[in-house]
Structure 1
Amino acid sequence: MGRRSRMTRPHIAFFSGDITRSGGTENVSIMVANELVKDPSYEVSFISLFEEQPRPFFPIDETIGRDTVYPTVTHGIQHYFDTVKRLRGLVKKHHIDILIDIDGILDMYTLPLKRGTGVKIISWEHFNYLQNPGVPYRKLTRPWAARKADAIVTLTTADKNLYEQHLKPRCLVIDIPNPMIVPDPAPVYASTSKTILSSGRLTYQKGFDMLVDVAAQVLPQHPGWQWLILGEGEDRSTLEDKIAHAGIGNQLILKGRVPDTDSYYRKSAFFVLTSRFEGLPMVLLEAKAYGLPIVSFDCPTGPSEIIEDAVNGNLVHPDDITAMAKNVDCLIEDRATRERYALHAGDGNGRFAKETIIDQWKTLLNTVLRTIAR
């Protein structure tokens, strides 16, 4: 692909497995893209392997183009070479200058495109370096990206350090947190609420199976309280069975994909995260923005960079269900502590301000663009 004149806007494309999903990765990617497209310096688009839903869960600016590699849902490594070929065609057709892989596993499809197209690759890692969630190929793509990508973006300083220590990358590695969106109007903490909130994809990573075990210990002791889980995923039927077996179906409720999360955050007493591992969880940033106290497993990585223990929430040793139940129970019973945590929920918010994050992305994009021979 020949390079274009300097008068042409650089084309930045975000590459996703499926941008119509309701996960945190899709949320933050759309958030960043929606902000970048406001700058007339950039052309912005999304490419997905496929789109399973007729429309994205999170709204995408109407000026942002969308393409799919496949017209229907297509899984499997057996399609690898066809996927690379199809993606190469899209990169050439749309004159894409930078591909941002919103999951590091997608590097396996984009890194081969560098030869013959000149496209620059940014690997945006939403998991932490110590985890290979569900996909063994991640063990291959991370070292490959360290050698061949043009930049690697991690969500936390801790993860950036892990990349540099283990892989000695040849490219720039930069930590850019997920942005926090400040609700409008400003939230007022619902101190009398008897609702606990959790949110995320119903997958092994998010640990909702452990959440059910926690709820089974706590909720029967507090019949006036409810615990709501927002989100959908492949573990729904297993969780439904587990909830029914525990006999807490009237109090622990799977709400599914909810378009208006705002009202749930505004009406909740506190937020709970039971993930086994994270990158930098968007749901915790959302809870923080809404002024909610938070109880979270101190899993790698992310929660400890958002929560100050015993100041605006509680960090619990990973996977310790008994300790989590104790912390949840204490917050249920102690309204004064909930109110004190809510007062400090905004501590340290500046680091996650949307304007700060978008400036960091623009600086990175312009750095990578300067390396393109025109």
Structure 2
Amino acid sequence: MMKINFIVYSFNQDNTGGVTRVVANLANQFCKHSDMNVTIYSLSECSSLAFEINQNVNLKSLDMEFYTPKQYSGFRKILWIFNVFKKLEYIVKEEKDAIWLSTSTPFNMVFGLIKMKYPGIKVIGCEHTSTVYSKGLLLDKLKSFFLKKLNYTVALTTQDKEYYKKIGVKNVEVIPNSISSELFINHCDFQRKYVIYVGRFEEEKQPLLALEAYHKSKLFEKGISLKMFGAGIQLENIKDYIKQNKLEDYVELISGENRIDKIYNNAYALLLTSKVEGFPMVILESIARNVPVLSFDVPYGPRNIIQHNKNGFLIEPYDIEMFVSYLHSERLKSVQVSDISYTVFGFVNENIIKSWLKIFNMLASNK
């Protein structure tokens, strides 16, 4: 029996981000294989689930009150890494034959430390943000140092793989995020009643720019509202913008919603205004539901999924006027009446899971 362990900050319902969705999807796919025992370890408590998981997937909470390094600053972030190290060390020793899937830079650092003490454990590292996203030279050096300790690194795009090779990381495989074929629809019979933003309300995602684009588009004068699905530290700023510009009747803020139908059905378009992106699940899901995507052309995920003028539009970063222009364009209307879902069918689970199984089998054979 092959044991696969994921580690996430939180699998609780108030943490329905893209990484958690990716982990839920992969865990559900892996457990379909009778020779796999799949566990998700959540640092936080899990009173309710972020996403539905198969009954054969084990979910274990470590009940850490301070479960994410974002709750700390400065030297306390380093203390967080060592606290998580101590939490995981006992589990790793007990499950020495497991293959661990790390899901972020801080976890990669923790497992790099663990590998230094227990070189025999098997770890696959992955980062779900773009490799161009830097938090300083020192952190970049540490990230590189610890990635080199892991057995494999999974890159979401070929550009990310080139970056890892450049900094000396070996055993890098490109495996993009994937979605279930059950999400696809092949019709465009929608009312197109609202524009959507789906993502964290945090600086990296720049939700205020999506709100600004909607405001300047004046789509509300045509009866098209904006639904913003998410939560985060920018919430109060978003509320202030809505109030100051008298958009209360046109903008709806929604948190904790993860049902695909509720998010994408009848949507006019998805707005993505991030500084950087890894390989966004929201783009895959949106296009699979025949909802076109308007995104800043930032490294590297959007340009690996969006086919300009075909299933969406890539826009020069921070060019809000161009964003507004595309929201009113005839080209967007022509995309809206087309079946664009087929353009992301290459990313269905059945195609992508094979690459994961290949790595698992290579690790399992190297005992």
Normalising by structure 2, we get a TM-score of 0.89
**Structure 1 runs (4+) greater than 6 angstroms displaced:** none
Alpha-carbon deviation of 1:96? 4.8
C-alpha contact (below 8 Å) 2:103/2:128 kept by paired residues? yes
Opposite residue 12 of structure 1, the aligned amino acid is I
Residue in 1 aligned with 2:132? 130
Residue in 2 aligned with 1:222? 221
C-alpha contact (below 8 Å) 1:277/1:301 kept by paired residues? yes
Q: Deviations over 1:242-296 (max 9, x none)?
A: 2211221211221222143313312112222111110011000000110112211
Q: Deviations over 1:94-149 (max 9, x none)?
A: 4452111111221111112223362111111111111036x987524421234211
Q: Distance in 1 between matches of 2:244 and 2:182?
A: 38
1:296-307 residue pairs with structure 2 within 5 A? Answer: 296-307=295-306
The 10-residue stretch of structure 1 (89-98 or 310-319) with the greater mean CA deviation from structure 2: 89-98
Q: Distance in 1 between matches of 2:9 and 2:309?
A: 38
Which runs of no fewer than 5 residues in structure 2 stay unpaired? none
C-alpha contact (below 8 Å) 1:98/1:122 kept by paired residues? yes
Q: Distance in 2 between matches of 1:248 and 1:136?
A: 42
Matched, 1:37 2:39: no
Which runs of no fewer than 5 residues in structure 1 stay unpaired? 1-8
Alpha-carbon deviation of 1:63? 2.1
Alpha-carbon deviation of 1:174? 1.0
Residue in 2 aligned with 1:4? none
Alpha-carbon deviation of 1:191? 4.5
Q: Distance in 1 between matches of 2:185 and 2:31?
A: 26
Opposite residue 300 of structure 1, the aligned amino acid is P
Residues 141, 40 of structure 1: alpha-carbon distance in 2 compared, 3 angstrom cutoff: farther
Q: Distance in 2 between matches of 1:79 and 1:26?
A: 20
RMSD across aligned C-alpha pairs, in angstroms? Answer: 2.2
Alpha-carbon deviation of 1:26? 0.5
Residue in 2 aligned with 1:13? 5
Residue in 1 aligned with 2:165? 164
Q: Distance in 2 between matches of 1:109 and 1:220?
A: 47
Q: What is the DSSP-based 3-state SS (H/G/I as helix, E as strand, rest coil) of the residue aligned with 1:127?
A: coil
Q: What is the DSSP-based 3-state SS (H/G/I as helix, E as strand, rest coil) of the residue aligned with 1:205?
A: coil
1:49-128 residue pairs with structure 2 within 5 A? Answer: 49-51=43-45, 53-74=46-67, 75=71, 76-77=76-77, 78-114=79-115, 115-116=117-118, 118-128=120-130
C-alpha contact (below 8 Å) 2:219/2:225 kept by paired residues? no
The 10-residue stretch of structure 1 (293-302 or 264-273) with the greater mean CA deviation from structure 2: 264-273
C-alpha contact (below 8 Å) 1:188/1:266 kept by paired residues? no
C-alpha contact (below 8 Å) 1:189/1:266 kept by paired residues? no
Q: What is the DSSP-based 3-state SS (H/G/I as helix, E as strand, rest coil) of the residue aligned with 2:291?
A: coil
Q: Distance in 2 between matches of 1:96 and 1:240?
A: 49
Residue in 1 aligned with 2:310? 311
Q: What is the DSSP-based 3-state SS (H/G/I as helix, E as strand, rest coil) of the residue aligned with 2:92?
A: helix
Matched, 1:24 2:18: yes
1:327-338 residue pairs with structure 2 within 5 A? Answer: 327-330=326-329, 334=330, 337-338=332-333
Normalising by structure 1, we get a TM-score of 0.88
Opposite residue 270 of structure 2, the aligned amino acid is F
Q: What is the DSSP-based 3-state SS (H/G/I as helix, E as strand, rest coil) of the residue aligned with 1:204?
A: coil
Opposite residue 16 of structure 1, the aligned amino acid is V
Opposite residue 122 of structure 2, the aligned amino acid is K
Aligned pair count reads: 356
Q: Distance in 2 between matches of 1:132 and 1:85?
A: 27
Alpha-carbon deviation of 1:184? 5.5
Opposite residue 129 of structure 1, the aligned amino acid is T
Opposite residue 132 of structure 1, the aligned amino acid is S
1:256-295 residue pairs with structure 2 within 5 A? Answer: 256-295=255-294
Q: Deviations over 1:143-196 (max 9, x none)?
A: 12342111111111111112212x121x31111111022346835324542311
Residue in 1 aligned with 2:338? 343
Q: Distance in 1 between matches of 2:323 and 2:364?
A: 46
Q: Distance in 2 between matches of 1:290 and 1:207?
A: 24
Q: Distance in 1 between matches of 2:86 and 2:134?
A: 26
Matched, 1:202 2:196: no
Q: Distance in 2 between matches of 1:180 and 1:83?
A: 30
Opposite residue 119 of structure 1, the aligned amino acid is I
Alpha-carbon deviation of 1:342? 4.8
Q: What is the DSSP-based 3-state SS (H/G/I as helix, E as strand, rest coil) of the residue aligned with 1:144?
A: helix
Q: What is the DSSP-based 3-state SS (H/G/I as helix, E as strand, rest coil) of the residue aligned with 2:40?
A: strand
Matched, 1:144 2:145: yes
Alpha-carbon deviation of 1:200? 1.0
Residue in 2 aligned with 1:320? 319
Alpha-carbon deviation of 1:32? 0.4
Q: How much identity, in percent, do the aligned residues show? A: 23
Q: Deviations over 1:313-355 (max 9, x none)?
A: 111001212211221232xxx4x74244552513432320110
Residues 80, 157 of structure 1: alpha-carbon distance in 2 compared, 3 angstrom cutoff: closer
The 10-residue stretch of structure 1 (265-274 or 113-122) with the greater mean CA deviation from structure 2: 113-122
C-alpha contact (below 8 Å) 1:177/1:357 kept by paired residues? yes
Residues 256, 173 of structure 1: alpha-carbon distance in 2 compared, 3 angstrom cutoff: same
Residues 32, 136 of structure 1: alpha-carbon distance in 2 compared, 3 angstrom cutoff: farther
